[in-house]
């Protein structure tokens, strides 16, 4: 079955960077675009960005321009999200999600369990 397993929670100081991983299994990783979505405490879902099949093209929401780097490693079926210059309001649960069902790109079907990133002085 499709599984997306993310790395564990982290606490970071303002201005630092964080890198979250998302390991895929149960399907052919290189056949699907991948998304990152975050959710601040008690808030709704906020889309961050998407990466294409080969990993050579990403689209990030303008809010994260210059701070967000999404990459993927097909050899290990792992997706990465690095967010730099962290601010207090970057505190959130970060989710990876597979694009789908089927060939849908901007839609998502399966999600990782989430990674809590806390930005604290």
Partner 1 sequence: DIQMTQSPSSLSASIGDRVTITCRASQNINNYLNWYQQRPGKAPTLLIYTASSLHSGVPSRFSGSGSGTDFTLTIRNVQPEDFGTYFCHQGYQTPVTFGQGTMLEIK
Applying CB under 8 A, the residues found at the interface with partner 1 are 35, 37, 44-47, 50, 59, 61-62, 95, 101, 104-114
Of 17, 103, 8, the closest CA to residue 64 belongs to: 17
Which residue number, 108 or 121, has a Cβ lying nearer to partner 1? Answer: 108
Nearest distance in Å: CB 63, partner 1: 9
Residue 22 or residue 86: which is nearer to partner 1 going by CB? 22
Rounded least distance, CB 13 to partner 1, Å: 25
75-111: buried (b, 16+ CB within 10 Å) or exposed (e) per residue?
eebbbbbebeebeeebbbbbbbbbbbeeeeeeebebb
Whose Cβ is closer to partner 1: residue 12's or residue 59's?
59
Q: How far is the CB of 97 from partner 1 (least distance, A)?
A: 8
Kindly give, in sequence order, each residue whose CB lies less than 8 Å from that of residue 111, ignoring residues fewer than 6 positions away.
4, 37, 95, 96, 97, 98
Phi, psi of 50 (to 5 degrees): -140, 150
CB of 61 to partner 1, least distance (A): 5
Among candidates 92, 86, 78, which has minimal Cα distance to 23?
A: 78
CB closer to partner 1 out of 22 and 119:
22
């Amino acid at each position: 079955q499709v599984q997306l397993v993310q790395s564990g929670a982290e606490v970071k100081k303002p201005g630092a960077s964080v890198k979250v991983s998302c390991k895929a299994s149960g399907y052919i990783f290189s056949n699907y675009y991948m998304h990152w979505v975050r959710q601040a405490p008690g808030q709704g879902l906020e889309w961050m960005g998407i990466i294409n099949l080969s990993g050579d093209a990403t689209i990030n929401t303008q809010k994260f321009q210059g701070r967000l780097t999404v990459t993927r490693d097909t050899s290990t079926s792992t997706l990465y999200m690095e967010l730099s210059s962290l601010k207090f309001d970057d505190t959130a649960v970060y989710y990876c999600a597979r694009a789908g069902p089927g060939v849908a790109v901007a839609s998502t079907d399966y999600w990782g369990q989430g990674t809590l990133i806390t930005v604290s002085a």
